[in-house]
Amino acid sequence: MGMIRSMTGWPGPSGFGSATTAEQVTAGIDASDLTVVITGGASGIGLETSRVLALRGAHVIIATRNMEAANEAKQSILKSNENAKIDVIQLDLSSLKSVKAFADNFIALNLPLNILINNAGIMFCPYQLSQDGIEMQFATNHLGHFYLTNLLLDKMKDTASSTGIEGRIINLSSVAHIHTYEEGVKFDSINDKNSYSDKRAYGQSKLANILHANELSRRLKEEGVNITVNSVHPGFIMTNLMKHSLNLMRILRMFSYILWKNVPQGAATTCYIAMHPNLKGVSGKYYADCNEWPASDFTKDPKLAKKLWDFSNHLLDSVIRRS
């Protein structure tokens, strides 16, 4: 039934579906009291998410590696919405030093933080290590966001406590989390070049996004913190994310065009999870087409989520000690 809805655009239980746009899911919502950090908010569905949240009144902080592109994105948003509140801060998720600098720079602004959208990512890139010595897709898509979330979490807790407004964290994952390595996450050989598969490494990092969201959600529930954490599959959208596999994606699109979305549709599920009142108190879920969606068996394994949490913290500690 879910696949039929995706192909036809029929709405699901939420009242929205694959054909819904980001503006439609946020219609009538006043976000003027909210501050949002979004990684990769200067291009693709990240830019559309930034634009729509700013349109609803939110103060949007675009965290981006390419400052020139981000400033151009900021001007394009301001051109259509002169009242938009947009700031840009540099962030390279593949560098833990850069992640720490971003967090320090954001906290120095003395702003609240209501919503964190871990949106940025890379896809199907050839084997390479980050400057911290970690396989690049795992480093960028998972570990950088894991560290960023850790560094901003106290600010989010303080904001939720002082304002009474529920905080929300959204991890952008992908249906590709199903296509990972046999063991789910290669804890013992995360950097192994010989067994590297660009597709499975991407799936591993997207599985990690969901496991991170689920474990963080569990911990925040135990603490009684007013912050939800959910993960999202935005859908199939032709963006710069696919630059390493553009020809393959074009061929796949020819045979599955009915499943593909445009950018406004691709940003809809993120904006729905970030702002819609129907999601109040909902945490630890996986969404696609603005509706809860079944994820792989790996994502339902709390021991795997806990193991990834500990593994990620160990990686962070080892890199920070070397710095």
272 flagged as catalytic: no
**Side-chain-side CA neighbours of residue 17 (13 Å):** 15
Contact in structure between 64 and 41 (CB atoms under 8 Å): yes
Give me the amino acid identity at 218: R
Rounded Cα–Cα distance for residues 259 and 276 (Å): 24
Give me the amino acid identity at 221: K
Provide φ and ψ at 103, rounded to 5°. -60, -45
Rounded Cα–Cα distance for residues 323 and 321 (Å): 6
Catalytic residue among 127, 147, 196, 287: 196
DSSP 8-state assignment for residue 129: B
Closest CA to 56 of 34, 38, 37: 34
- Tell me the catalytic residues: 196
